[in-house]
Amino acid sequence: MRLVLASTSPRRLDLLKRIGAEPARVAAPDVDEDVRAGETPRAYVQRVAIDKAHAVARGEDEIVLAGDTTIAVGKRILAKPENEADLRRMLGLLSGRRHHCLSAVCLIGLDGKARTRLSDTVVTFKRLSEAEIDWYVASGEGMGKAGGYAIQGKAEAFVRALSGSHSGVVGLPVFETRALLASAGYVLG
């Protein structure tokens, strides 16, 4: 059985390797990540992970793994910032507040059936000063990241508390991923 990672994220690949899963190939899924009207953060992140897994062709001896991560402040989904102004808005929303980092994993097994797991991590940011927001925006690190921050980088200094999966906030909850791979009969190295 061969593992296909439906993601070009270097963070997801690194997290997979940490648990002894070496993809035979990596493929870039092309899916619509726009939030649908009335879609909750949980439903959104699970739908996108499932869509990503289905978007990659699967050979007869292959299983496909995909993931998606989003940040939710209440029912509001913070996707990737569109520009620096959007990033500033997001950091302002996160400042001094708790939020949820939802990370969904989908695995399509040899039987063609999609199985999913969801990690919900509560993250609390310190109250951010304008100077801290300016510094982080200038670093460029938050662009292209769900919620506008990378916990494995400079933004870790903003985290006052975390309850849940650190790897889920990075982009792939390894506990849930390992369980899905084991249930599919994939042998970890």
Question: Which residues are the active-site residues?
Answer: 68
Stated pTM of the model: 0.92
- pLDDT tens for the chain, 189 residues long, are 999 999 988 999 999 999 999 999 999 999 999 999 999 999 999 999 999 999 999 999 999 999 999 999 999 999 899 999 999 999 999 999 999 999 999 999 999 999 999 999 999 999 999 999 999 999 999 999 999 999 999 999 999 999 999 999 999 999 999 999 999 999 887
- Please give the Cα distance from 113 to 64 (Å, whole number): 10
CATH number corresponding to 2-183 = 3.90.950.10
Distances (CA, A) of 120 to 71, 99, 104, 111, 139: 10, 10, 9, 28, 27
* Identity of the amino acid at 65: L
pLDDT given for residue 189 in this prediction = 72
Q: Show me where the domains of the chain are located.
A: 2-183
